[in-house]
Amino acid sequence: MLPSDNRRQRYRLHKIIYAAVLASFFLFLVLKYFNSQNSILSYTVFGYILLVVPISKRLNVTLHAVISSIALVLVGLVSFLNLI
């Protein structure tokens, strides 16, 4: 296992990255709202990031990693679909 100091630093970095992804996707939704309408997929992915990812943290470390990876893939999908 990692020393407690190293784990604490990585956990803090983990929270900062999560907040940055959440804030950037929220700003994306706001800018997209003013330019054109958002799709249901955009709001669903935002809800998934906002609700499912923090809840999965309580279940299992591996399951949380898989659910978080799916969330990042969905963010990329929404960004790609808005470029088309």
Q: Is the dihedral of CA 56, 59, 61, 63 positive or negative?
A: negative
Query: In whole angstroms, what is the distance from residue 78 CA to residue 25 CA?
Result: 10
- Predicted structure pTM score: 0.78
* pLDDT band at 2; cut points 50, 70, 90: low
Cα–Cα separations (whole angstroms), residue 72 to 3, 8, 17, 53, 79: 28, 23, 12, 11, 11
Please give the Cα distance from 4 to 8 (Å, whole number). Answer: 6
Give the angle 57-61-64 at the CA atoms, nearest 5°.
50
Tell me the pLDDT tens digit for each residue of 24-79. Answer: 999 999 988 888 888 899 999 999 999 999 898 888 888 988 999 999 999 999 98
